[in-house]
Amino acid sequence: MAEGETESPGPKKRGPYISSVTSRSVNLMIRGVVLFFIGVFLALVLNLLQIQRNVTLFPPDVIASIFSSAWWVPPCCGTASAVIGLLYPCIDRHLGEPHKFKREWSSVMRCVAVFVGINHASAKVDFDNNIQLSLTLAALSIGLWWTFDRSRSGFGLGVGIAFLATVVTQLLVYNGVYQYTSPDFLYVRSWLPCIFFAGGITMGNIGRQLAMYECKVIAEKSHQE
C-alpha cells in the first residue's frame, strides 16, 4: 500500500460484553411485551366470565369497550403480568435457586388451564356460603402451586402479589370505580386473594419458561460462535 493512503475503517465489531448486554436487553423487552399481551388476553376472557355472572359490576357509562370490559382493566392486568413474569426468574437468579420443576411448555399450558378453571369456578359454582367457596378456591390455588411450582420463592411472591392486589382492589371499589356483588371481605369477595395468588403463580410460570427459552437461544448462539 502506498504511503499517504489510509486504510478505510471497516465496521467495528462490538465487544462480547456490549453484545451480551444488548442481547439481554432486547430479549427482556420481548419477554415483557409477550407477557403483557398474555395478561391482556387473560384479563379480557376472565373478566368477561365475572361480568356474565354479575360477580363484578361496572357503571353503565364505562361498559362500552371490547368484551364489555372497562378499558383500563386489560392494560393494567397486562402491565401487572409483565412485571410478575419478569420478577419471578429475576428472584430465582438472585436467590441462586434456578427453578427446574416441570420446565416444559405443556406444563405451563396446563397451569394456565387450571388457573382459568379456578376463575371459572369462582363465577359458576354455587356454594351455600362464601366461606365454603373461599376455602375451596384456596385449596385449589395451593394445589396449583404444588403441582406446577413447589418453590418457596414462588409461594412467597404469590402471597405478596395476592396481598397487594387485594389492597389495590379494595381501594378501587372504595372509590367507586366498580363493585362486587355480595361483598363479604370489606368491599370485595373473600375468595379474591385466592384468584390473585393463582394468577401470580401462573404468570410466574410463563415468565420462567420464557426466560429459560431465552437462555437456551443465547447458549446456542454462543456455541455456534
DSSP state of 54: T
pLDDT attached to residue 141: 95
pLDDT attached to residue 124: 74
Neighbouring-strand partners of residue 188: 185
Chunked into runs of 10 residues, the chain (225 residues) has average pLDDT values of: 49 46 76 93 81 55 49 87 93 78 84 91 75 89 93 92 94 83 80 93 92 64 54
pLDDT attached to residue 14: 46
Task: Give the three cell numbers for residue 171.
Answer: 381501594
- The CA-atom distances, in angstroms, between 121 and each of 50, 114, 134, 223 are 10, 10, 11, 47
pLDDT attached to residue 162: 95
φ, ψ at 101 (rounded to 5°): -80, 120
pTM of the entire predicted model: 0.77
pLDDT attached to residue 54: 54
Closest among 111, 94, 122, 120 to 146, alpha carbons compared? 111
Do residues 206 and 108 touch, judged by C-beta distance below 8 A? yes
Residue with cell 499517504: 4
pLDDT attached to residue 68: 47
Q: What is the residue extent of each domain of the chain?
A: 25-51+63-222
φ, ψ at 4 (rounded to 5°): 90, -20
pLDDT attached to residue 159: 96
Do residues 149 and 201 touch, judged by C-beta distance below 8 A? yes
